[in-house]
Structure 1
């Protein structure tokens, strides 16, 4: 039974159950309702399955338009748009999200920041009752394993947001003293999370093969363990202020073991369609194609035939997410095709260009770069500008080129428009709120990156590890190791990058070796627009990278002439003969540039200056709503939010 099928079939029944459980009357926010006592329910396998099925859509978000994704609200898809809270992208509008600034005010109530416990109550209620079913113990444990998987995931997200949180192990009654307990230490909570995910692995059925849209199995649990343990291990290493450095290695070893379980299984591989655009095509699949995608460990299939669809393409084409554009900080990090960065010598103000780097004129910076760059960021004339929705023709010659509409508050703030996750599919677009573009929640590539990073942090990384991870990813992307041997990452022969090294030296309070720099670069590039960057910065204690000036493309003299307003009715390119439509974008009216000519993002913002985000270290953790502190005098606020 597939995830998308059983989410649909069980939704009504699960909703009815959760009404009894009081999921909207959060027991951490107000006096709880009496526990559900239903002697007629916990009897059969179908009872357990119906209950557990409802948890899938609670925890596996996919391309949902539901904005309730703590601690940030992101409509359309947390995967496609989650990076808007990081240094990879920016949102549409004059101002930056206030939650990315020091002006964020502690909410009175949950306010979707993550301090909500209704879902956990559903989990604990199952764990308190599932043994009543008159079915074989192995069957009961399989369903309980799924619930322990979700409990580990739930608490992991809580710890990411708040640090110390109350650990609730039981199905609580109205008068349970645990309702008003203090926060438990991070170490205790995460040890309990590890117990949950290990129990899930032990009780879940083995994966008979890659089955991304099937029930939770051991492989999916190993993936989650890989992610959780890498996060916790690196957080403990770099956040010395919490005093848990001595236990960091244990968590990193657990991450390595979980990643290795997936790698050595032979059930997963990097997607390759035999074309140069394999990386882009990985994210542009619909309907049942995800079932046979070897890179999908966990995914959600959307399909018209079963009535399960999403709004991803609507938000990509007709809504505000046209205005989510990339930042120069991300684009600069992509290597050239020779495996070296855009600058190979010199220092700030006098960098030496890589001979393959073509500079910043009219998007020439996208050429001769890591092939993933132009499968993530559009060249001029790509994207919807050359896709005619009326005819379904995807052809620059037929439809001409429409350069980005550069506006300081509008749809094209930076000039770096994303093409990753976009599909030129007339059928899907014509269905409005009915896209069947599928989504990968757990991608095998991340497990490879978890493995290589954890091995480095443990100090036992060898070249073979790099070859089966980073170099395999680069090979799939289209790097040519024969023509450019330096594009293959070799331990001890890492490229020089004076630009990025200078940023790290300025923003971080610890040294980053060339090898670690390349491991982190690979993760940023490979996983861009997949909702990982913000959390990577948090665990690395590298949030001051958010204060790198937010910039867009350089408005060269050629660019300024193109956008001067004199070509508002169209311009014939003398070389190609193609009609190029340029939208007016006057300097100091529609776009604002810095002293080097790069577009300043959020130039007229009232909550940041000169495109530079503020940062204070207390924001590594989020605040507990003040209303919760008033209800429970044993709860304490996170430092800096008092």
Structure 2
């Protein structure tokens, strides 16, 4: 349906921009270059349809909205069949890869190529329109990079289609897969083109739109992904022969620093309120987002309506948070056992209190009355199954305009904190990070959270650092921790696990929930399985994760595609 919508937009441009009588118009499959668009507004309309493919909240008709990262080691949904397949959680037998099924579709690439091929058509415009023509042209290149990055994360090696083509163009119809590092270079080239064309965020007349800084941040994201993939998948069938990823890591650090040096963005003063706002146009941290307007525009989301949307955080997620003194809980005086929801947040990184619900937290405020949270209600169909319900994204204020919780919660797509984290991680992976690098990146996030900064020369060795299946330096461990905590439940975790080759974190194990004690004893059946330490095992009936690292990090190409195109080779391991 979304592809039909975009095609209708392109068709509408054809219908509106030509001056001749309708019957004299050329067929839509024979549009001349001159009639494709005649002004910047036509081009804006053509690009607008692609924004629908950016991440957003589910609409009211869906009934509930799975929170980001709820199919990873950090979060769960109520059953493996409803979301857990995102991380090989269609356990325990198949050993299949990230993502249920396959998505070997090139519709979006064909559509954006059709537009890009017509960007340099000769038309007469006023000088004042050129900046907007460039802006929307840059957006087209951004979206091609976006679609190609999705395919890179799914399949690795994929064909590069730099132009639109027809069924007669056998070179493309029967194209083989190009090496993933060449695909990454193609993506980065498109983003460089976009960066050179687009306006800075403050100059764009109708935000939220992709800006120059958003393209720089996405460039950093792509380069970090490919750089760490090549580093940690080195000497495997999924790696790039002879590459340690350093070239891409340097690009990532530079692109992230470009965003940092732009002076356009800064951290929002309150971490918690970032995620439940209605409208983000004035937020200093957010580069790209989606707004909703249930009453005026009929654009509503279901995020708050079925809270907490059948999702819960895992014990592993909660264990990731340091003590408030900056030390690992194993080395601090704080109780890090996580045995009681009433005390679990005391003496911990304040971001933990902004992540999970504990007794006394506000559930809703309606007509001047406040309802407080007492314990997780496992009997509610909407409730997650781990006992760690989400505080993040929660908007407790009843909205009289819709006689329900607000349907207008905005969705952050890109924020400035990502640039700081990418910069620090790229430098740490390169082995070049300095105290000054930390002070202009991660330590700003720590300061905003009310946490002590990292001192590079004095990082405490955490006896409970996660087992990635390989050793890291202390700063690498702590940079990964900071990324996990700062971006918890924002949709980054699956790609992080992919690029880090981090199956050791979960393979052969299963997710755990809260400790079974008086805080939840009235809501959990005594038959609920527990591990040997007394923590909930909500998916014990499904067995342990059974991830096959020889193939699970990438998806297979559908068999019928291999038959149609004999030049395609199947993904390694499949």
- Do these two structures clear the TM 0.5 threshold for a shared fold by scoring above it? yes
Partner of residue 554, structure 1: 515
Distance 1:12 1:496, change over 3 A: closer
Partner of residue 265, structure 2: 268
Deviations 1:37-89 (A, max 9, x none): 2233333333222111212223x22224499xxxxxx9866xx7220121110
* C-alpha deviation, 1:369, in angstroms: 0.5
Whether 1:163 aligns to 2:156 is: yes
Correspondence list, 1:16-35, <5 A: 16-17=9-10
Partner of residue 465, structure 1: 437
* Contact 2:292 2:409 (8 Å CA) reproduced: yes
Return the alpha-carbon distance in structure 2 between the equivalents of residues 184 and 599 of structure 1: 45
* Contact 2:142 2:191 (8 Å CA) reproduced: yes
Partner of residue 76, structure 2: 90
1:362 aligned counterpart, secondary structure: coil
2:243 aligned counterpart, secondary structure: helix
Whether 1:359 aligns to 2:337 is: yes
Partner of residue 110, structure 2: 121
Correspondence list, 1:135-534, <5 A: 135=124, 140-177=133-170, 178-208=172-202, 213-240=207-234, 241=236, 242-244=239-241, 246=243, 248-272=245-269, 278-287=270-279, 290-304=280-294, 306-307=296-297, 309-314=299-304, 316-317=306-307, 322-344=309-331, 354-357=332-335, 359-363=337-341, 364-384=343-363, 387=364, 389=366, 391=367, 393-396=369-372, 401-406=373-378, 411-427=383-399, 430=402, 435-479=407-451, 487-500=452-465, 503-504=466-467, 507-508=468-469, 510-534=470-494
Deviations 1:273-314 (A, max 9, x none): xxxxx2111111103xx1110000111222346515332434
Instruction: Give the stretch that moved more between structures: 293-302 or 42-51.
Output: 42-51
1:613 aligned residue (536, 545, 552): 545
* C-alpha deviation, 1:429, in angstroms: 8.8
Return the alpha-carbon distance in structure 2 between the equivalents of residues 333 and 428 of structure 1: 38
Distance 1:286 1:202, change over 3 A: same
* C-alpha deviation, 1:359, in angstroms: 3.4
Partner of residue 579, structure 1: none
Distance 1:365 1:305, change over 3 A: closer
* C-alpha deviation, 1:495, in angstroms: 1.7
Partner of residue 55, structure 1: 50
Distance 1:303 1:135, change over 3 A: farther
Return the alpha-carbon distance in structure 1 between the equivalents of residues 415 and 63 of structure 2: 22
Unaligned runs of 5+ in 1: 1-7, 22-33, 68-73, 273-277, 345-353, 480-486, 564-581
Whether 1:638 aligns to 2:556 is: no
Using structure 2 for the length normalisation, give the TM-score.
0.87
* Contact 1:14 1:50 (8 Å CA) reproduced: no
Return the alpha-carbon distance in structure 1 between the equivalents of residues 64 and 206 of structure 2: 21
Distance 1:383 1:210, change over 3 A: farther
Distance 1:455 1:331, change over 3 A: same
Instruction: Give the stretch that moved more between structures: 199-208 or 491-500.
Output: 199-208
Unaligned runs of 5+ in 2: 15-26
* C-alpha deviation, 1:594, in angstroms: 1.3
Deviations 1:346-383 (A, max 9, x none): xxxxxxxx321163332122221000001011112425
Return the alpha-carbon distance in structure 2 between the equivalents of residues 188 and 90 of structure 1: 35
1:622 aligned residue (544, 555, 574): 555
CA RMSD of aligned residues (A): 3.2
* Contact 2:320 2:485 (8 Å CA) reproduced: yes
Distance 1:266 1:198, change over 3 A: same
1:586 aligned residue (525, 540, 544): 525
Return the alpha-carbon distance in structure 2 between the equivalents of residues 383 and 461 of structure 1: 41
2:563 aligned counterpart, secondary structure: helix
Instruction: Give the stretch that moved more between structures: 301-310 or 452-461.
Output: 301-310
Deviations 1:165-220 (A, max 9, x none): 11111111121111122111112211111111111111222344698934322111
* Contact 1:409 1:602 (8 Å CA) reproduced: no
* C-alpha deviation, 1:340, in angstroms: 1.1
1:498 aligned counterpart, secondary structure: coil
Return the alpha-carbon distance in structure 1 between the equivalents of residues 124 and 374 of structure 2: 63
Distance 1:337 1:419, change over 3 A: same
Distance 1:47 1:20, change over 3 A: closer
Return the alpha-carbon distance in structure 2 between the equivalents of residues 92 and 436 of structure 1: 25
Partner of residue 598, structure 1: 535
2:309 aligned counterpart, secondary structure: helix
Return the alpha-carbon distance in structure 2 between the equivalents of residues 627 and 111 of structure 1: 18
Distance 1:207 1:403, change over 3 A: closer
Return the alpha-carbon distance in structure 2 between the equivalents of residues 257 and 187 of structure 1: 18
Distance 1:422 1:156, change over 3 A: same
1:554 aligned counterpart, secondary structure: coil
* Contact 1:325 1:413 (8 Å CA) reproduced: yes
Distance 1:51 1:370, change over 3 A: same
